Amino acid sequence: MAKERVGFIGTGIMGRPMAQNLLKAGYSVTIHNRTKAKAEQLLLDGAAWAANPAEVANNSDVVITCVTDTPDVRKVLLGEHGVIEAARPGLICIDMSTISPSATKEMGEILGAKGVILIDAPISGGEIGAIEGKLSIMMGGPKETVEKARSIMEVMGRTVTWCGPLGSGQMTKLANQIMVIHTIMSIAEGLAFAEKAGLDLHTTLKVTSAGAAASHSLKALGPKIIAGDFAPAFMVDLQQKDLRLVLEYAEQLKQPLPGVALAKQLLSVLQARGRGRDGTQALVEVIRQLGKSID
Amino acid sequence: MAKERVGFIGTGIMGRPMAQNLLKAGYSVTIHNRTKAKAEQLLLDGAAWAANPAEVANNSDVVITCVTDTPDVRKVLLGEHGVIEAARPGLICIDMSTISPSATKEMGEILGAKGVILIDAPISGGEIGAIEGKLSIMMGGPKETVEKARSIMEVMGRTVTWCGPLGSGQMTKLANQIMVIHTIMSIAEGLAFAEKAGLDLHTTLKVTSAGAAASHSLKALGPKIIAGDFAPAFMVDLQQKDLRLVLEYAEQLKQPLPGVALAKQLLSVLQARGRGRDGTQALVEVIRQLGKSID
């Protein structure tokens, strides 16, 4: 069977290396990005350019979207010159952005009425995971369509999991982000306390990493905190976007999440100070600041 | 060099297997416990009984204490028939309880005036770690005394770390407990959300365990939450005692810890409902409860 023609909309920090991996794997890829300049390298590498999302869909069997937020996906799929203008039965859309689960379900119905199948497939693993094709991809939608898309997904991800019907990928991603922010709180308060107590942080890190306090965040970000390195593995602004999605959806579910609410407020201190583009490990700076005298 | 005569005060859930391991390793061990019945097996296994802590100290080169809270340690060391009544230069006291770092420093001075060296050496790793001799032991005190005690400690622990001067073991343990409670919050809110969203929790657990959300708590306690198993790996009542110590010491340090404060309040709901002897994973029940209608 010939490889599907793949469309890729959104060639930013994550999308660019993902599209690159599809090209390397021999897929014919048609791309579109709001800012064409960010797509130049992909065009040199053999991708075809399309002037808008509808044109991408006209030239593709499977259209992947990887943009920032719910309104961006809505515009690309349903807006003027959106994918919906090229809708035809059998077209598959795979949205790899992290957006609202309820908006995903709603857009799935609108596209479904035209025979287009929407799949949600948000990702985790960061820029390095995207470059190395080692993302974790959380998929929601009809199982047979997800399985059909699996070979394409496996070019970009190491772990491709079907999580349930449409929206389940987004919900799983949000559950993941809830867990992540608490582990960031863990290291921020734990290391700020240790520092204030005058402990040697290298020793603290070694001891705590070996036992019940261990977490991926402690291992990956603990050394960065000690080194004062606040370069982003994952940016505060993006974490906040995800936590907004978490709290919005939790409100729909009527599920209070007091810990997430607190963490989001504390992270917002970094945004207020113009540090929204720091990595999330900068949360330790907020906790430290709480323990400083007011000048 | 002959092996030191070891005294062991406090043969509870943790202390009993620890003393057992010392006997197995060939140490002569003199024990005392508030409730003698809980020491019977150790006496059958060859430990000698002492009527009170002073008598333990009279028969030992090194006295280990492993009791519950700050007042217990104070009573055993400085109270009537306490270790201090048998104080003599060169006697080493190793307190393996988790208690206040500042009380530890204070008691160290009082004992030090009589030539007794106090070491703090709180532990992590739970009952299983105690039985298997695989505890993590966080030591504070003069480095040469800690090194002198290392061979005894290594009978009980797999990781024996010198953390700094007296009190540093307790501070490190408290930093550890800060990190742990946040990872418990992580799985409580993450899994309560996933459940309310209707996700398959086994899939959620699998996906989240593989990435940035991974933690020791998720791996060890996530499956228990899914199975509805609230038997204690670590009891809510003990976690609350440790978090009280954290917040008391943080207040002395003038280091606000809003996340710990919130987590402690949420855990107190379990205590209010008579579930203080459940494992800390029961925190998920509190988050679930927040999302239920009021009857």
Q: What is the pLDDT of residues B202-223, one digit of tens each?
A: 999 999 999 899 999 999 999 9
Same domain, A138 and A24: yes
Enter the ipTM.
Answer: 0.96
Position B290 scores a pLDDT of: 97
Chain A: residue nearest B258 by CA? A262
Same domain, A44 and A112: yes
- In chain A, residues with a C-beta closer than 8 Å to the C-beta of B189 are 178-179, 182, 257, 259-260
Closest CA to B56 of B80, B78, B32: B32
Structural domains counted in chain A? 2
Same domain, B261 and B278: yes
Q: Is residue A189 part of a domain?
A: yes
Q: Provide the chain B residues 164-203 that lie in CB contact (below 8 A) with chain A.
A: 164, 168, 171-172, 174-180, 182-183, 185-194, 196-200, 203
Chain A: residue nearest B165 by CA? A199
Q: Which of A171, A196, A214 sits opposite B194 (nearest CB)?
A: A171
Q: How far apart are CA A24 and CA A8, in angstroms?
A: 14
Residue B29 and residue B22 in contact, taking contact as beta carbons nearer than 8 Å? yes
The Cα of B243 is separated from the nearest Cα of chain A by a number of Å equal to 12
Domain holding A281: CATH number?
Answer: 1.10.1040.10
- In chain A, residues with a C-beta closer than 8 Å to the C-beta of B217 are 212, 215
Position A293 scores a pLDDT of: 85
Same domain, A115 and A259: no
Residues whose CB is less than 8 angstroms from the CB of residue B215 and which lie 6 or more positions away in sequence, other chains included = A179, A183, A186, A214, A215, A216, A217, B183, B186, B187
Cα-based distances in Å from B248 to A115, B173, B252: 62, 14, 7
Residue B247 and residue B261 in contact, taking contact as beta carbons nearer than 8 Å? yes
Chain B: residue nearest A166 by CA? B199
**Domain range spanning residue A274?**
171-293
Same domain, A68 and A111: yes
Chain B: residue nearest A257 by CA? B189
Tokens of residue A271, six digits = 């945004």
User: A–B: how many Cβ contacts below 8 A?
Assistant: 251
Q: Which of B125, B161, B193 sits opposite A255 (nearest CB)?
A: B193
Same domain, A244 and A226: yes
Domain holding B147: CATH number?
Answer: 3.40.50.720
Q: Which of A179, A253, A262 sits opposite B218 (nearest CB)?
A: A179
At residue B84, does pLDDT exceed 80?
yes
Which of A165, A188, A222 is a domain's end point? A165
Position B127 scores a pLDDT of: 87
Which of B165, B197, B232 is a domain's end point? B165
Same domain, B127 and B222: no
Q: Is residue A19 part of a domain?
A: yes
At residue B77, does pLDDT exceed 90?
yes
Q: Is residue A195 part of a domain?
A: yes
| Cα dihedral B194→B196→B198→B202 (10° resolution) | 40
Q: Would you place residue B1 in the very low, low, confident or very high pLDDT band (cuts 50, 70, 90)?
A: low
Same domain, A175 and A150: no
Tell if the CB–CB gap between B124 and A212 is shorter than 8 Å. yes
- The Cβ of residue B117 has, within 10 Å, a number of other Cβ atoms equal to 22
Touching check for A29 and chain B: CB below 8 Å?
no
Position A159 scores a pLDDT of: 94
Q: How far apart are CA B36 and CA B44, in angstroms?
A: 13
Same domain, B148 and B282: no
Over chain A (295 residues), the average pLDDT of each successive run of 10 is 91 96 98 95 97 98 97 98 97 98 98 98 92 96 97 97 98 98 98 98 96 95 98 95 98 98 98 98 98 85
Same domain, A235 and A257: yes
Same domain, A149 and A49: yes
Q: Is residue A1 part of a domain?
A: no
Catalytic residue among B134, B173, B196, B292: B173
Same domain, A111 and A130: yes
Which of A102, A137, A165 is a domain's end point? A165
Q: Would you place residue B140 in the very low, low, confident or very high pLDDT band (cuts 50, 70, 90)?
A: very high
